[in-house]
Amino acid sequence: MPKHARLRLAPAAPNAVSAGRAFLYPPIQQNAPKPAVSLNDICQPKNMKAAQVRIAAIVIIATMVVWMGASFAGGQLGFDIRYAFLIDLAALAAFFWALIVLFLTWWPVTSDKD
């Protein structure tokens, strides 16, 4: 089968953003095996807390690495002190967001027990 025959083009959407563009979709397989974990399994409420905690942990780690790297680079390159405060405020905002997310996942939901 030729390579171009496996792809199908969808009609362009009527909105202004994607007008005139065609999007490529993967080929449709009739007897494709089902994946071991589906998207519905991942998005179930029992896994939502774990996903939120995982995202908060990634934000904390990434914020720490970027904060330390930006502070080091700012000191080496001689950035103005106001940029150091801007970096610190951005890091504090990310840490505060992660703290709120972790607190909300830890706090028991009592509205369902009434």
For residue range 38-92, what is the model confidence (pLDDT) as tens digits?
A: 666 666 666 778 888 999 999 999 999 999 999 999 999 998 999 999 999 999 9
> Residue ranges of the domains in the chain?
42-107
32: which DSSP letter?
P
The alpha-helical segments, DSSP class H, found in 30-80 are: 39-42, 45-77
For residue range 12-43, what is the model confidence (pLDDT) as tens digits?
A: 555 544 444 445 555 566 776 776 666 666 66
- Look up the pTM and report it: 0.56
Contact call for residues 5 and 24 (beta carbons, < 8 A) = no
Backbone angles phi, psi at 9, to 5 degrees: -100, 135
Q: 56 exposed, middle or buried (CB, 10 Å; 0-12, 13-18, 19+)? A: buried
Q: What is the DSSP string of 7-29?
A: -EEPPPPSSSSSTT---EEPPP-
Q: Provide the β-strand partners of residue 25.
A: 8
Contact call for residues 98 and 56 (beta carbons, < 8 A) = yes
